[in-house]
Amino acid sequence: TRIVPAFIAALSDHHAGVRKEAVAGIGVRAEFTEQLDILALLKPMLYDFSLPVCQQAAIAISRLKTPEAATLLFEVLQSPITPQPLKIDLIRALAWMETPTSWSYLQEALDFLTPPEILEILRRSSQITNPLLHSQVARMLLDFYQKHPKSLEQITVKQSLIQAWGHLHDPCALQPLQGLSQDENARVRLHAIAALKQFTYLNVEGVQQEVQGSQREG
């Protein structure tokens, strides 16, 4: 159809707004996926001079939900010349894909990103809807908790970890949550105890006592 070459031509338009709309259009039209190599078509748009075009490209590529798409997004995330606003959008795109590959890349990213970018990954961890990823992501957070004690000096990091573990309901979080329930910060303690209440169904020794003790204190 004529619409396909029109969208492709628009990717090279000198107006950034036109390029952005072309990227968005390609990302949501099923016929493009069937007829074209969408990944090859959109890859250059991740390096566009216009940040909004790059951000739209990240969204469009994430819709493919393929390992190749996740790899491309991660490559740009790793680049030292990628601006932070785009890195945040790349993190959101990888998280939204909700595939084992995309979250494996986010785990790798925890070792080299800046604190605001790391915090974005932690926050996205509490929004996962695919239960098949719960264990993988909960263990990713446990690995981060154990390897990066300096990051835990930030209360927002602790709270984001607690919120994610409470959402994911994986038993691997019990030990760190019990530790955080004794944190020096009152808000952190309260959040950790609230998260532990999500695990009382496991009837694990120590969890019931922790929750009951907090209720008596309250």
Residue pLDDT, tens place only, 109-155: 999 999 999 999 999 999 999 999 999 999 999 999 999 999 999 99
Residue pLDDT, tens place only, 165-213: 999 999 999 999 999 999 999 999 999 999 998 886 655 555 555 555 5
Residue type, 202: L
